[in-house]
Amino acid sequence: MPRIFSGIQPSGELHIGNYLGAVRNWVQLQHEVESFICVVDYHAITLPYAPEDLRRRTFEMGLSLMAAGIDPAKCTLFVQSRVPEHTELAWIFNTITPLGELERQTQFKDKASRQESVAAGLLNYPVLQAADILLYKADTVPVGEDQVQHLELSREIARRWNARFGDGFFPEPQPRLTPTRRIMGLDGQAKMSKSLGNTVGLLEKPDDMWAKLRPAVTDPARVRREDPGNPEICNIYHLHKAFSPPATVDEVATKCRTAGWGCIDCKKVLFENLNAELTPIRARAEALQADPRLVTDALDAGAAHAGTIAKGTMAEVRQRMGLR
């Protein structure tokens, strides 16, 4: 049976980019394969943060994932720092990872360019990610497109370690992409990302959501209502593909190309369909907020199960490497 591992940073609220690029996929996969879903707090501390915020956000991320449909009875949902073996394996992988490979990672270059002082942990982030996945010998990683390059490096790390210490011990994990691989921020400038502050939160109130959606960037060719547009280059059209039924998606494309309606009409329909999917998620979040033990108990049980597997892997890794 395939085993999946996927992680999400508790660096901000769960947004619709995460949901479409990753979480919706996890919800489906938890019924089909053995799944490990991890709130990766060790990753979140690679950029400046306040400890109290991190504690709160880690809990809130667990809650949001459960609200979005992650069921702790069907998968292992846990917080990374509760299983310290992640950092032990990351150190070991650091000793076999070529520095040049780390320096050419796009996400590192992007994030580093926005920092005054760059921590070594930001550079080594993909090494920790390789450890996250391989600690559970996961062979499949359902992620958005932004993580494909990191996964290539995870495979390289697995190959290098296997070549030196244990042929075939670690699998070479493959990405599993969703149809919605990359959601742009509503400003249309860059991918929607917690660290860029251009997100639409999954649990945001409908009024706040509309306030962000209404001025969102569309095809710049549609200056006036009667100007036709190209849906393929419009972020709103891609969101329709993710949230609206196929007949609506066709209608949206036609009405955009023929200027059959204005962008606000198009956004109103998207808003309705978005709400239809998000209303039950918001309701589940409210129920969990009223009973937070449901979240903390689930995270405790997840950490206990993940810890057992992690200890088993590390015992064998140490043995093969001549440690202790």
Indicate whether 18 belongs to the interface with ligand ADP (CB under 6 A): yes
CB nearer to ligand ADP: give 182 or 305.
182
Catalytic residue status for 109: no
CB nearer to ligand ADP: give 9 or 64.
9
Indicate whether 231 belongs to the interface with ligand ADP (CB under 6 A): no
Indicate whether 241 belongs to the interface with ligand ADP (CB under 6 A): no
CB nearer to ligand ADP: give 201 or 314.
201
The amino acid at 143: V
CB nearer to ligand ADP: give 8 or 253.
8
Catalytic-labelled residue, pool 74, 191, 212, 268:
191
- Alpha helices by DSSP H, 68-221: 85-94, 99-103, 106-113, 120-134, 148-165, 206-213
Residue holding tokens 């600690």?
135
Q: Which of 67, 134, 153, 192 binds ligand ADP (CB under 6 A)?
A: 192
- d(C-alpha 188, C-alpha 242), whole Å: 17
For residue 84, CA distances in Å to 5, 42, 216, 303 come to 16, 10, 42, 10
Q: Which of 137, 191, 241, 282 binds ligand ADP (CB under 6 A)?
A: 191
Residue nearest to ligand ADP (CB): 21
| Pairing relationship of beta strands 140-142 and 174-176 according to DSSP bridges | parallel
CB nearer to ligand ADP: give 75 or 92.
75
Give the E-state strand segments of 193-319 in sequence order.
Answer: none
Number of residues that bind ligand ADP (CB under 6 A): 19
- d(C-alpha 66, C-alpha 60), whole Å: 10
- d(C-alpha 321, C-alpha 231), whole Å: 54
Q: Which of 62, 126, 144, 175 binds ligand ADP (CB under 6 A)?
A: 144
Q: Which of 22, 29, 153, 299 binds ligand ADP (CB under 6 A)?
A: 22
Of residues 86-125, those binding ligand ADP (CB under 6 A): none
Residue holding tokens 């559970």?
136
Catalytic residue status for 191: yes
Indicate whether 72 belongs to the interface with ligand ADP (CB under 6 A): no
Output b/e per residue, 99-121; b: 16+ Cβ within 10 A: eeebeebebbeebeeeeeeeeee
Q: Which of 4, 11, 63, 67 binds ligand ADP (CB under 6 A)?
A: 11
Q: Which of 21, 173, 175, 302 binds ligand ADP (CB under 6 A)?
A: 21
Helix/strand/coil for 38:
strand
Contact 218, 184 (CB under 8 A): no
CB nearer to ligand ADP: give 242 or 252.
242
Q: Which of 81, 149, 162, 195 binds ligand ADP (CB under 6 A)?
A: 195
Of residues 27-66, those binding ligand ADP (CB under 6 A): none
- d(C-alpha 299, C-alpha 39), whole Å: 10
Q: How far is the CB of 304 from ligand ADP (least distance, A)?
A: 24
Instruction: Report phi then psi at 38, rounded to 5.
Output: -125, 130
The residues of the shown chain that bind ligand ADP, judged by CB under 6 A, are 8-9, 11, 17-18, 20-22, 143-144, 146-147, 182-183, 191-195
Catalytic residue ranges: 111, 191, 194
